[in-house]
Amino acid sequence: MIKTVVWGLGAMGAGMAKLVAGKPGYKLVGAIDLRQEMTGVELSEINDIGEPGAGIKISRDGEKVLAETKPDITLLATNSFVDAIFPDLQLVLTHGSNCITLAEEMAYPWHSHPEQAALLNDLAVKNEATLLGTGVNPGFVLDTLILLLSGVCSQVDRIHAARINDLSEFGPTVMRTQGVGTTLREFQEGITKGDIVGHVGFRQSIDMMSDALGWALDEIIEERLPIVSDIRRETAYAIVEPGDVAGCNHVAKGMLHGKEVIRLEHPQQVRADLAKVQTGDHIKIFGKPDINLTISPEIPGGLATMNLAVNMMSSAMSGKHGLRTMLDFPLPHFNRMT
């Protein structure tokens, strides 16, 4: 049985714990969460995990859990940013545990965080562990899937992809970081201050694709544009008046010799249905041949992130030590037994 620790029991971590609880060959052995209200709660009481979580108390002491349980693999879902989770990743690797993290910036940190990436890689190799960052995006829709499609091309001139989704189900944190319900002026101020962030991980998706395709980009340009609503929209956590902002259209462009060769768009808003916006994932490759793909509705982000991470566990256990990316492992796929 592969001993598994889950670090971070928010929606994603609790979801992965539930999946691991039902996964043949895997066994939950520990749970870590820094939030006071989670400390001491038994994992069995979280997210209908039940018996596979019996006897496992959620702890704030990561080091103690790792030392006592000696996990084969740790699933870390606490934060999007390399700087924030760097000490925790060091701790996991020092204990010789393989690790999959949902931190968006860890999906391809080699260019955005070269020093931390090199340190983590060395630490992983030294401790014979594999470290992988993945999730729906970055990790799948706007990088891995595009690259697979490029496999049938003899030339790729330009990539244009969009992930159009709906935020209506999300809570106050997402409303705030996407600027939902702000006036145009508040939106611009939020962008300037860094409170409104849009999508995290475009840099990593573009770095991964440009490396894989053999493009040495000049630069990556990101823009966060307000999605101004001409109608009233309402959700459990947000009200958008006509003329105000229903969400953020985050656009990232990869430039090669002054030309835009990658364009990724991720317009995220509440009540897309009221504005007659059809959600979906769209990929266009301009090359030989052209490819025009649509997934409609879009691949659901939360589910896909958890599922992909759990489906990658066997790859992360396969002995390819070091800091790895979705480019390093055999074709990701579901398997009901592994």
* Window 6-35: residues binding a copy of itself (CB under 8 A): 19
Q: Which of 70, 295, 317, 322: binder of a copy of itself (CB under 8 A)? A: 295
Cβ within 8 Å of residue 151, ≥6 positions away: none
Does the footprint of a copy of itself cover residue 278 (CB under 8 A)? no
C-alpha 187/C-alpha 129 separation (Å) is 43
The residue (of 101 and 144) whose beta carbon lies closer to a copy of itself is 144
Among candidate residues 131, 29, 8, the one with its CA nearest the CA of residue 71 = 29
The residue (of 221 and 296) whose beta carbon lies closer to a copy of itself is 296
Instruction: Compute the least distance from the CB of residue 153 to a copy of itself, in Å.
Output: 5
Q: Which of 310, 313, 316, 323: binder of a copy of itself (CB under 8 A)? A: 310
Instruction: Compute the least distance from the CB of residue 232 to a copy of itself, in Å.
Output: 30
Total interface residues for a copy of itself by CB under 8 A: 51
Q: Which of 81, 311, 317, 322: binder of a copy of itself (CB under 8 A)? A: 311
Structure tokens, 291: 């490819």
Instruction: Compute the least distance from the CB of residue 256 to a copy of itself, in Å.
Output: 11
Among candidate residues 323, 320, 316, the one with its CA nearest the CA of residue 119 = 323
Among candidate residues 162, 322, 319, 108, the one with its CA nearest the CA of residue 330 = 319
Q: Which of 154, 185, 193, 276: binder of a copy of itself (CB under 8 A)? A: 154
**Amino acid, single-letter form, for residue 157:** D
Q: Which of 25, 243, 289, 319: binder of a copy of itself (CB under 8 A)? A: 289
Q: Within its chain, how far is the Cα of 162 from the centroid?
A: 16
The residue (of 35 and 288) whose beta carbon lies closer to a copy of itself is 288
Is residue 252 within 8 A of residue 222, CB to CB? The reply is yes
What torsion do the CA atoms of 322, 334, 65, 130 make, to the nearest 10 degrees? 0
* Window 82-141: residues binding a copy of itself (CB under 8 A): 136, 140
Dihedral sign for Cα atoms in the order 64, 65, 70, 74: negative
234 beta partners: 239
Is residue 71 within 8 A of residue 165, CB to CB? The reply is no
Q: Which of 12, 299, 313, 316: binder of a copy of itself (CB under 8 A)? A: 299
The residue (of 193 and 257) whose beta carbon lies closer to a copy of itself is 257
Applying CB under 8 A, the residues found at the interface with a copy of itself are 19, 136, 140, 144-145, 147-148, 150-156, 212-215, 287-289, 291-297, 299-300, 303-304, 306-308, 310-312, 326-338
